[in-house]
Amino acid sequence: MSNLSQRLLIFVGSYAEPDNTGVYVYAFDPVQEDFERLDAVSGFKNPTFLSVDADHRKVYSIAETQNKAGERIGEAVAFAVDPETGRLRELNRSHTIQPSSSHIALDRENRYIALSGYHGGNVGVAKLEEDGLVGPLVDEQQHAGKGADPERQDRPHPHSSLFSPDNRYMLVADLGLDLVRTYAFEAESGTLKPVSDAITPPGSGPRHLAFHPNGKWVFSINEVGNSMTTYRYDADSGRLTPVDTISTLPDHFQGENTTAEVAVSKDGRFLYGSNRGHDSIVQYSIDENSGKLSLVEYVSTEGGHPRHFALTPDGGHLIAANRDANNLVLFRVDRETGRLQFTGKTVTVSKPVCVRPVLFG
């Protein structure tokens, strides 16, 4: 495809051993609603979460490895991507936090990556060199304490991080402590300073976060409590104030469930979250004045354990990654109502965990 402005690539991370394919690249045609596999790379243990810098044509993945002492440690892997061919070329690998990382996020200027350590209760920041290679850690913060659930919240579990629109703050969802911690982020040094904690209802377990396009609200999908919390965000102080918490499940559902991913529509009118167990995408409408949520509908993800999903950049499609069904499932998004319609299109991928649609041009 010669017109790169129309080149929409889908990057997929997965659970994989080093000798198995772990990171995939697909081209997606939104008109024909077709996927074309362009590349797949191996050599990494559990390259689950990805972050993409389209401007510099770089892809960053987490993975697991061992240090010289034989201890388990996280690593970050940098790739160069050719948008024309979709090919990935490994640039370097760098050790990050111990014992592993669960999530990776680029800051808004694509100068640093933030690593969240679910198992270690820690968060780290690594510098990216001018050529896009992953450099050393420049800061690491350790969380302490426990939450209300004796099994899931016996210690800190930072699950993900998200940088504020102005890049002054970094928000960390700590599933184990029932809070979202705001850090002041020093963009020149990459260092973090704790500012405030926003508390969720006991047993909520914040997992992933999403900013509303207006920058005034932050939404937290809560894994343990199967709920979604709306926060009012103060851009000056970085503080979050709880507004409302609403269930992600139908009232009649009695089975086991945990939530996973959250995303806001491009126009800011709708919010989506994934349920693992109920195996659905829940859709809410967002009140334009308060940020409060109202249920719209539940849609089956056509597969088990939707660990992640993403809206395409134009908002016209949603791609769900079903880990236990080993597939990506394509939905059409109604522009007026935000409702999802299964297109009948699926792609087989082994244990997908993260899906990143990125437009190159």
Count of H-run helices and E-run strands, the chain: 0, 28
Cα-Cα-Cα-Cα dihedral sign, residues 28, 62, 65, 143: negative
The values of phi and psi at residue 274, to 5°, are -110, 140
How far apart are alpha carbons 130 and 134 in whole angstroms? Answer: 10
pLDDT along the chain (361 residues), means of 10: 69 97 97 97 98 98 97 98 97 98 98 98 97 97 97 98 98 98 98 98 98 98 98 98 98 96 98 98 97 98 98 98 98 97 98 98 85
Residue 42 one-letter amino acid = S
The whole-model pTM stands at: 0.97
Tens-digit pLDDT profile for residues 49-85: 999 999 999 999 999 999 999 999 999 999 999 999 9
pLDDT of residue 168: 98
pLDDT of residue 73: 98
How far apart are alpha carbons 75 and 98 in whole angstroms? Answer: 9
List Cβ neighbours of 241 (8 Å cut-off, separation of 6 or more).
198, 231, 232, 234
Residue 150 one-letter amino acid = P
pLDDT of residue 192: 98
CATH match of 1-43+272-361 with 2.130.10.10: yes
The values of phi and psi at residue 4, to 5°, are -65, -20
Q: Domain-by-domain residue ranges, the chain?
A: 1-43+272-361
pLDDT of residue 5: 56
How far apart are alpha carbons 308 and 21 in whole angstroms? Answer: 19
CB 279 within 8 A of CB 327: no
3-state secondary structure 261-326: EEEECCCCCEEEEEEECCCEEEEEEECCCCCCEEEEEEEECCCCCEEEEEECCCCCEEEEEECCCC
- Tell me the average pLDDT of the chain: 97
Kindly state the percentage of the chain with pLDDT values over 70: 99
pLDDT of residue 6: 77
CB 138 within 8 A of CB 125: yes
Contacts 24+ apart (CB under 8 A), 147-151: 147/175, 147/176, 147/177, 147/178, 147/202, 147/203, 147/205, 148/178, 148/202, 148/203, 149/203, 149/205, 149/224
Residue 71 exposed, middle or buried by CB count within 10 Å (0-12, 13-18, 19+): exposed
Residue 279 one-letter amino acid = D
How far apart are alpha carbons 278 and 9 in whole angstroms? Answer: 29
The values of phi and psi at residue 133, to 5°, are -70, 150
How far apart are alpha carbons 242 and 339 in whole angstroms? Answer: 27
pLDDT of residue 3: 46
